[in-house]
């Protein structure tokens, strides 16, 4: 049976898992999570995932959450995107850095600036988080200087992790023009066969919700 | 040659690596990082670690940052704390959750409340982060209900990750009395042979800096 990825278009964490599956040829289908309607806070969803988050992979008996854990599951299943022998620790270090410093903070900042009503936005939190994110973009841009990919000579799950929130159009303080090495790396990634924009790869987008 | 862990007592992220080494019998020695004096921002430090963070493991030719990557390196070297066969994905999911939701946010909030001068503290950020952390404590406490350890029947690196900031005395909004299942789990961990408090395991503490 085809694996189901519980996901939604606005979720860059879901995109990390979906893009990894798409680029590696893993057999999957999206299952829409109504995050904005509160689905991840329901008892039914919490019974599947105590962390109450998307993405969530359901593949036969396996129920697995955390985008990075799903990425590693896909590497194990397909033998692709894990890096060359000897590169495993470097790949993991960038996955963890992304979870700690990049996607976590970018996802929250984008949410506060775009998906919360104006009057509910914590005004001081946004510039504070943007300052922390600027340090993260600077680290990634410096690392990508003179490199095609984050680790080694080919695309890995380190790349499909760090790009999680960087293709979205909603403003949250990230501009590709400010970071030329990140900009060219995002172009290389989006030129790969199987790449799609998050809103084309997963169901749900601000445009869909505006129509509803 | 004995491995060196670049670390400092106030760093819960360093503690995750140090405690993993201590409990597994990995041969290591601490190398003090003068974080508060700006060492992680120096060009020399950035040359070792583009991410500019502690901990950092230097073991022969290996230079590895990110606490979780160091934890996995120790599991591979010692064969300990990785979980039973079949538990690897569950261990990884909690390591990633900790990096994303618990230690990252707890570390930042504790820093803002205790290591920044009063007049520099972003007043709105602190309660905002405490709200997010409360959700993380609730997730961990719910998961630990009826369990001795985070994954399976024995201590793993999931435990030595999630406890990273939870033994510190400085106030940042976490009180063991509010979370009975976390409280008992922290007691089980601290009863293990080789456990030490972060300020006893690594050089540097607020008390040391007050003396200096």
Shared-domain flag, residues A45 and A111: no
CATH code, domain with B92: 1.20.1050.10
Shared-domain flag, residues B103 and B182: yes
Condensed to tens digits (0 to 9), the pLDDT of residues B101-125 reads: 999 999 999 999 999 999 999 999 9
Nearest chain A Cα to B144, which residue?
A50
- Region A180-207: mean pLDDT is 97
pLDDT at A6: 98
Q: With a cut of 80, say whether residue B30 has pLDDT above it.
A: yes
The rounded radius of gyration (Å) of the Cα atoms in chain B is 17
Shared-domain flag, residues B108 and B186: yes
Nearest to A92 among B69, B93, B124 (CB): B69
Q: Are A92 and B52 a contacting pair at CB < 8 A?
A: no
Shared-domain flag, residues A103 and A182: yes
pLDDT at B184: 98
Nearest to B124 among A93, A125, A139 (CB): A125
Region class of A186: left (phi > 0), else alpha (psi between -120 and 50), else beta:
alpha
Shared-domain flag, residues B104 and B18: no
Shared-domain flag, residues B200 and B186: no
Q: With a cut of 90, say whether residue A108 has pLDDT above it.
A: yes
Give chain B's length. Answer: 212
CB A125 within 8 A of CB A116: no
Q: Are B50 and A99 a contacting pair at CB < 8 A?
A: no
CATH code, domain with B57: 3.40.30.10
Shared-domain flag, residues A53 and A105: no
In terms of DSSP H, where are the helices of chain B? 12-24, 43-48, 67-78, 88-97, 103-114, 125-144, 157-162, 180-190, 198-201, 206-211
Contacts of A86 in chain B (CB under 8 A): none
Condensed to tens digits (0 to 9), the pLDDT of residues B71-101 reads: 999 999 999 999 999 999 999 999 999 999 9
Position A210 confidence tier, pLDDT thresholds 50, 70, 90: confident
Q: In which domain, by residue range, is A41 found?
A: 3-81+196-204
Position A24 confidence tier, pLDDT thresholds 50, 70, 90: very high
Position B59 confidence tier, pLDDT thresholds 50, 70, 90: very high
- Region B164-188: mean pLDDT is 98
B211 domain residue, yes or no = no
Contacts of A69 in chain B (CB under 8 A): 89, 92-93, 96
Q: With a cut of 80, say whether residue B212 has pLDDT above it.
A: no
Tell me the percentage of chain B whose pLDDT exceeds 90: 95
In terms of DSSP H, where are the helices of chain A? 12-24, 43-48, 67-78, 88-97, 103-114, 125-144, 157-162, 180-190, 198-201, 206-211
Shared-domain flag, residues B55 and B144: no
pLDDT at B210: 87
Contacts of B101 in chain A (CB under 8 A): 51, 104
B135 domain residue, yes or no = yes
Shared-domain flag, residues B121 and B142: yes
Domain count, chain B: 2
A–B CB contacts, 8 A cutoff, strictly below = 80
Shared-domain flag, residues A111 and A54: no
Q: Are A96 and B122 a contacting pair at CB < 8 A?
A: no
Side-by-side strand order, sheet with A62-65: A28-32, A3-7, A56-59, A62-65
Maximum distance among all alpha carbons in chain A? Answer: 51
Condensed to tens digits (0 to 9), the pLDDT of residues B139-165 reads: 999 999 999 999 999 999 999 999 999
| Cα–Cα distance for residue pair A73/B130, rounded to 1 Å | 32
pLDDT at A212: 75
Shared-domain flag, residues B59 and B100: no
| Cα–Cα distance for residue pair A80/A69, rounded to 1 Å | 15
B105 domain residue, yes or no = yes
Rounded to two decimals, the ipTM of the complex is: 0.94
Continuous segment of H or E residues that includes residue A163:
none
Shared-domain flag, residues A102 and A171: yes
């Amino acid at each position: 049976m085809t694996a189901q990825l519980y996901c939604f278009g606005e979720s860059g964490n879901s995109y990390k898992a979906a893009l990894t599956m798409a680029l590696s040829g893993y057999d999957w289908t999206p299952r829409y999570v109504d995050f904005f309607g509160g689905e991840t806070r329901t008892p039914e969803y919490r019974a599947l995932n105590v962390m109450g988050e998307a993405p969530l992979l359901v593949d036969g008996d396996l129920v697995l959450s955390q985008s990075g854990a799903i990425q590693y599951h896909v590497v194990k299943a397909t033998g692709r995107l894990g890096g060359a022998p000897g590169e495993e620790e470097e790949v993991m270090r960038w996955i963890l850095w992304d979870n700690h410093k990049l996607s976590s903070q970018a996802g929250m900042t984008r949410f506060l600036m775009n998906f919360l009503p104006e009057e509910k936005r914590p005004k001081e939190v946004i510039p504070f988080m943007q300052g922390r994110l600027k340090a993260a973009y600077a680290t990634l841009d410096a690392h990508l200087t003179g490199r095609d990919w984050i680790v080694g000579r080919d695309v890995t799950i380190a790349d499909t992790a760090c790009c999680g929130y960087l293709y979205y159009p909603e403003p949250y303080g990230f501009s590709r023009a400010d970071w030329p090495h990140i900009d060219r790396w995002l172009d290389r990634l989006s030129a790969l066969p199987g790449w799609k924009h998050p809103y084309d790869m997963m169901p749900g987008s601000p445009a869909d919700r505006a129509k509803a």
